[in-house]
Amino acid sequence: MVRMKSRAAMAIVALSLLTATDVWAQEPDSPDERVIDDLNSPDVREGDPEAVSDDPTPDEAVGQAQQAAEDEARRDVMPGERVDPTEDREKHQVTILKTQQVDLSDEEVKDELSPEEPPVGTVALSPARAPAGGVVIAGNDDSFAGPWTLSLGGYIRAGYTAIGNDPNVALIGRNDGFTMADARLTTTGQMDNGLGFVFQFDAGSRLVRTRQDSPVEALALRMTDVYAYYAPFEFLEINVGQFKAPFDVEDLISTGNLLFVHRSVANRGVQNVEGYNVDGLSAGRQVGVQLRGDYFFGGEEDQGPGISYALAATNGNGPNASLNANDRLAYFGRLMLHWGDEIALGSAVFYNDDTFGEEPNRVDRVRQGWTADLQVNLFGASLLANVVASSVDSPDLPDDPELSALGYSVQLAYQAPFGLQPAYRLASYDPSSSYGGESSVIFENDALTYHTIGLNYNAPTYPVRVLANYTLTTEQDARRLDNDRLDLLLQLSW
């Protein structure tokens, strides 16, 4: 009997709470909800002039609602009282959802949400451009993000590679198959005062061979671009961390915007089982400090004539290294002349006094180089031409002459309105173009010339790209192989 009475009492309490909850739900909780209800009233929606003559515009009403909500929140908190961050965040999210309603039928809004972008791979790049962060995931109106505006982006690139089977070298062409090219995630953050950061990593980095005698490499997670920046002026940005060295223009093009599956042989060299391995002329990513910026004289960004620059001092021993290889720095400098984002002429130099080898066989060497490039983007067609040269000299080995290398590439592409993009690239690389000194010897037997034919599909309405490349290799005697290559790639970005 007692148990039945207690159950009846609990049912009455539950019914009372349910009824009270229903009543609470019918009452506006805050001034901003009352304003939104007023804006949605039949008189306002039908455009009654008497109903709205003395009322603020919708934009003004939304602003007043936000201000009223903030004032009410401040009044509810006593000095020194701690606020539950979860409850506070939920209140702000409700306010944001209610006050940031957008009329998607408005043509100006459509243009702002879906800006017209230039064809893939055709932007005349500036060294002052950071990796794109993708979509905004939190703004500075959201207490969860504090003063930050946070963005998230990235891409996945997976494909298939087939290399010709050389009859004389068993390593070449016997590892055809699917490949995980890149799995990149980028997070960017910025504040109104010019402070920001870029945090990017790649889950498709090749680190360790599965066996010492195996061409197969295990994939691992590694940092790519990770740095803090401060931009006190439009023409000045300071970077500290790991970033792309401002040297070869091919390095400055995002992997997600490449016209071909791989960068040119002059930039990346010959890797894995593609042929006889040789390093390219890329400076890659470096750890250090960088100053960069751009300025367009037309008064608007990317309009008319302009100039961009980048200066960097780094360790000089590549990415993901905890310390410098010695106590001397590497220096990079790049300067570009622009006509909007349609034409750019650039040049860069670097100097690196580094050390290689293990004790007691450590050797100092001086590496230096230069590059020049031209980019054109007109009427859907694009051109990129560049030349890169470098030299290595060791003061610890005075009897060894200076070794020089030279590479160049020219690539052309056309972006059709329906998404197809044919492309062609000629790339040449001589990794030992000459020895300096009294007995200068020109090597004629190890140069590489690659012809790459590409057909891409850049989906007009989806962030999807499909790339198909066929590379014809023409190699001199010291590196000659039957190693023509087919590369297929699917890329999904966000």
Q: How confident is the model at residue 160 (pLDDT cuts 50, 70, 90)?
A: very high
Across the strands, what pairs with 228?
197, 240
Residue 123 lies in a domain: no
- Please return the burial class of 481, using the count of CB atoms within 10 Å of its CB with bins 0-12, 13-18 and 19+: buried
Residue 224 lies in a domain: yes
Residue 127 lies in a domain: no
In this structure, the answer to whether residues 328 and 290 fall within a common structural domain is yes
In this structure, the answer to whether residues 484 and 370 fall within a common structural domain is yes
Inform me whether the pLDDT recorded for 475 exceeds 60: yes
In this structure, the answer to whether residues 251 and 328 fall within a common structural domain is yes
In this structure, the answer to whether residues 104 and 169 fall within a common structural domain is no
Could you say which DSSP state residue 58 is in?
Answer: H
Across the strands, what pairs with 152?
135, 187
Residue 323 lies in a domain: yes
Residue 126 lies in a domain: no
In this structure, the answer to whether residues 19 and 65 fall within a common structural domain is yes
In this structure, the answer to whether residues 139 and 70 fall within a common structural domain is no
Give the angle 312-317-323 at the CA atoms, nearest 5°.
95
In this structure, the answer to whether residues 294 and 437 fall within a common structural domain is yes
pLDDT on residue 198: 94
Question: Helix count (H) and strand count (E) of the chain?
Answer: 9, 19
In this structure, the answer to whether residues 249 and 149 fall within a common structural domain is yes
In this structure, the answer to whether residues 105 and 218 fall within a common structural domain is no
Tell me which residue range forms the domain holding 28: 2-112
Across the strands, what pairs with 422?
455
pLDDT on residue 471: 97
CA 225 – CA 223 distance, rounded (Å): 6
Q: How many domains would you assign to the chain? A: 2
Query: Quick one: average pLDDT of 171-194?
Result: 91
**Termini Cα distance of the chain:** 64
Query: Quick one: average pLDDT of 355-364?
Result: 81
In this structure, the answer to whether residues 18 and 72 fall within a common structural domain is yes
In this structure, the answer to whether residues 198 and 102 fall within a common structural domain is no
Residue 363 lies in a domain: yes
Report in angstroms the alpha-carbon separations of 294 from 9, 229, 407: 74, 15, 28
Rg (CA), the chain: 30
CA 438 – CA 47 distance, rounded (Å): 90
In this structure, the answer to whether residues 102 and 217 fall within a common structural domain is no
DSSP 331-397: EEEEEEEEETTTEEEEEEEEEEEEEES-TTS-EEEEEEEEEEEEEEEETTEEEEEEEEEEEEE-TT-
Residue 130 lies in a domain: no
pLDDT per residue as tens digits for the range 287-332: 999 999 998 887 776 788 999 999 999 999 999 888 898 899 999 9
Residue 354 lies in a domain: yes
For residue 232, what are its two tokens? 């006190």
CATH of the domain at 363: 2.40.160.10
